[in-house]
Amino acid sequence: MKFGVVTFPGSNCDYDAYAAAKLIGQDVEFLWHQSDDLKDSDVVILPGGFSYGDYLRSGAIARFSPIMKSVIEFAATGGLVIGICNGFQVLVESGLLPGALMRNEHLRFSCKYVYIRVERNENAFTMACQPGDILKIPIAHKDGNYYNFQADLEEIKSKNQVLFRYCDRDGSITQESNPNGSMYNIAGITNERGNVVGMMPHPERAVEDILGSSDGLKVFQSVKKYIMERAGVEKA
């Protein structure tokens, strides 16, 4: 299987995402923002960073790049897409995921390890986890405050689209463990179909114990497992 990592001008976690894919033994290629070629990737990663300098709103300009046209088409046919941090911001701006990511409530850039609780595991990006698993993964953002209309928030909750929520070390969802003011402590969501995922924490920065945690590997291992199983079913 092959990962494709998009590089926008200002992306700065593309090499970390590339390294994470290599670490789990998979093929991976960079996808340039000016190209519309996804190079037959099975999974597209929109990495963290400051695409187009975060001008206008985080992710707003990247949405109109040539590569995003292909990513949007790929997602529409069920292709697997994960946006991390700035990538999540690009996905909400593109309309591939519901809601918006606003300025952190405290207005500060926040760079630290947080705990997130896995809410669902019937998703390609969480299937190697159990519901209730607590992952220690770092955040690094200023615009990560998830917002949606109350009715739409209720809808994504009822459709099981909330994948990750900020929690404390023991997995309790508390106000103190919410690093940015996100509604419902939301750290990551999926679209209704389940093939597009966005998360503010950086799993690619937590893939080896020497980095402080290897919990982020579970996200990459999940999608690997999902694609391997899908390929097995197709062969059978």
Partner 1 sequence: MSNRKATVYVRLKDGVLDPQGVTIQRAILNMGYDMVSSVKSGRFFELEIDAEDGDVEARINEICGKLLANPVIENFQVEFEK
User: 129 catalytic, yes or no?
Assistant: no
CA 208 remoteness from chain centre? 19
Q: Name residues contacting partner 1, limited to 89-128 (CB under 8 A).
A: 92-93, 99-100, 102-107
Catalytic residue among 13, 33, 119, 202: 202
CA–CA distance, 112 with 27 (Å, rounded to integer): 30
* Binding test (CB under 8 A) with partner 1, winner from 147, 157, 184, 214: 147
The nearest distance, CB 175 to partner 1, in angstroms, is 15
Q: Stretches 1-9, 15-23, 145-153, 185-193: which one binds partner 1 (CB under 8 A)?
A: 145-153
**Does residue 55 belong to the site contacting partner 1 (CB under 8 A)?**
no
CB-wise, 107 or 236, nearer to partner 1?
A: 107
CB 93 within 8 A of CB 62: yes
Residues 95-98: contacts with CB under 8 Å, at least 24 apart: 96/72, 96/191, 96/196, 97/189, 97/190, 97/191, 97/196, 97/198, 98/148, 98/152, 98/156, 98/161, 98/189, 98/191
CB 104 within 8 A of CB 142: yes
CB-wise, 52 or 226, nearer to partner 1?
A: 52
Both tokens of residue 91? 């996905």
Catalytic residue among 13, 85, 129, 167: 85
The nearest distance, CB 148 to partner 1, in angstroms, is 7
CB 132 within 8 A of CB 171: yes
CB-wise, 76 or 149, nearer to partner 1?
A: 149
CB-wise, 105 or 192, nearer to partner 1?
A: 105
User: 202 catalytic, yes or no?
Assistant: yes
**Does residue 181 belong to the site contacting partner 1 (CB under 8 A)?**
yes
User: 85 catalytic, yes or no?
Assistant: yes
196-199/145-147 β-pairing: unpaired
Cβ neighbours for 56, distance < 8 A, ≥ 6 positions apart: none
Residues involved in catalysis? 85, 202, 204
Binding positions for partner 1, rule: CB under 8 A: 56-57, 60, 64, 92-93, 99-100, 102-107, 147-149, 181
